[in-house]
Amino acid sequence: MNKHLLCSLAITACGAASAQSSVTLFGVVDTYLQVGSGSVADRSQLASGGTGGSRLGFRGVEDLGGGLSASFWLEAGLLTDNGSGGTTSTNNQTSGSAGGGGLTFSRRSTVSLSNSVGELRLGRDYSVAYYNRFEFDPFGNSGVAASQAYASALTGPIPTRVSNGIMYFLPSNLGGVYGVVQYYLGENLRNAAATEKDGNGGGLRLGYKAGPLNVAFSTTRTQYASTAATGDITSTNLGGRYDIGAFTAMGGYYREKVGTLAGLTGKGYQLGGIYRVGAGEIKAQWSTYKTTAAGTPQSDKVSLGYVHYLSKRTSLYGAYGHVKNRGGAAAALNGAVTGANQASSGFDLGVRHTF
């Protein structure tokens, strides 16, 4: 009887423990034909992530009781056209590039503690300045149609994500107000060298989301030793979206500066929308970016696209982009090469599946 009782108690305890924790496998496989043309050279290739990066991930959460929970998120970037993995920056500097063939959790690698006062998150994740770039871009900042305000931006070694981050997220019960404060480390030796703080930085994002409206402001600064071409990089942006029935309008303003005094400055804008019709979405956007470099180079881009949903998890898509350059700019699309002040265009055709 005692053995049977002990077994029953053990089974009950295991069942209770498993009910309080969970682990999920998830991913995206997105592969597409990518064609680009320019005044110097054209290019055609198979690529990965035309509507959002392909990925393989694991996430889990455990209820610790008393309103406290622990969670983790491991998300690896994949290049599904050739089966390789993505790259990551281990120290927020060009010297820290890793991966590029093997599997790395380059998209996100975090552990968190959460309760009613918010979430403490540690590890590699999006820069707070990047959230406004993909959330308010109809194309999710992916593929040939992605905003030129990002493609030409003066973002330095960490345009998208930061490593060695310490982040605090506001709780979700603040009447639509949301936000995050972020600090990250370059992890250099503290030897009084000019570069000892390279890769250190921080920023904040604050937004409001209620009903059809979502607006957010963010600012970050990353430290780099000043040279003729570099220096601290400051990024500030403001974005928003508004739902009007089947249509969502969105746009943003973006500004970057390299150096603290008379440094190089860049400014960009984007304005677009998504119209949902039947089993698909029609997308369109205009975006531009220019800098204070010699000649004031500027690139203006028009983007069009369509996504057709075969199911909740599988879709077919096509997108087109055309960029005009002036002031010495030579932005090109989909791997093509174009001359200064010459145009470039490209299109994508692909399939996306999520699990």
**Phi then psi dihedrals of residue 6, to 5 deg:** -65, -40
Tokens 């994949």, located at residue: 78
* HEC per residue, 42-107: CEEEEEECCCCCCEEEEEEEEEEECCEEEEEEEEEEEECCCCEECEEECCCCHHHEEECCCCCCCC
Cβ contact 31:54 at 8 Å: yes
pTM: 0.90
Cβ contact 124:88 at 8 Å: yes
Tell me, rounded to whole angstroms, the distance of Cα 124 from its chain centroid: 12
pLDDT of residue 194: 86
Which residues, including other chains, have CB under 8 Å from residue 74's CB and lie 6 or more apart?
A: 57, 58, 59, 105, 108, 109
Give mean pLDDT in consecutive 10-residue pieces for the chain, a chain of 355 residues.
Answer: 42 44 96 98 98 97 97 97 90 80 91 98 97 96 97 93 98 97 96 90 98 98 77 96 98 93 90 98 98 97 98 98 98 98 98 98
Tokens 């622990």, located at residue: 70
278 C-beta neighbours (distance < 10 Å), count: 7
pLDDT of residue 102: 81
Q: Where are the domains of the chain?
A: 23-354
Q: What angle do CA 47, 49, 53 make, to 5 degrees?
A: 140
Calculated CA dihedral for residues 289, 293, 297, 302, nearest 10 degrees: -10
Q: What angle do CA 30, 31, 36 make, to 5 degrees?
A: 125
Longest dimension (CA), the chain: 88
Cβ contact 351:32 at 8 Å: yes
Q: Give the residue among 238, 63, 43 at the shortest CA–CA distance from 135.
A: 238
Across the strands, what pairs with 206? 179, 217
Q: Would you list the DSSP string of 241-256?
A: EEEETTEEEEEEEEEE
**H-state helical runs in 261-345:** none
Question: Thinking of the domain 23-354, which architecture would CATH place it in?
Answer: Beta Barrel (2.40)
144 C-beta neighbours (distance < 10 Å), count: 27
pLDDT of residue 20: 62
pLDDT of residue 229: 57
**Phi then psi dihedrals of residue 116, to 5 deg:** -70, -15
Which helix (H) or strand (E) covers residue 16, if one does?
Answer: helix 2-19
pLDDT of residue 14: 43
pLDDT of residue 261: 67
pLDDT tens figures, 105-149: 999 999 999 999 999 999 999 999 999 999 999 999 999 999 999
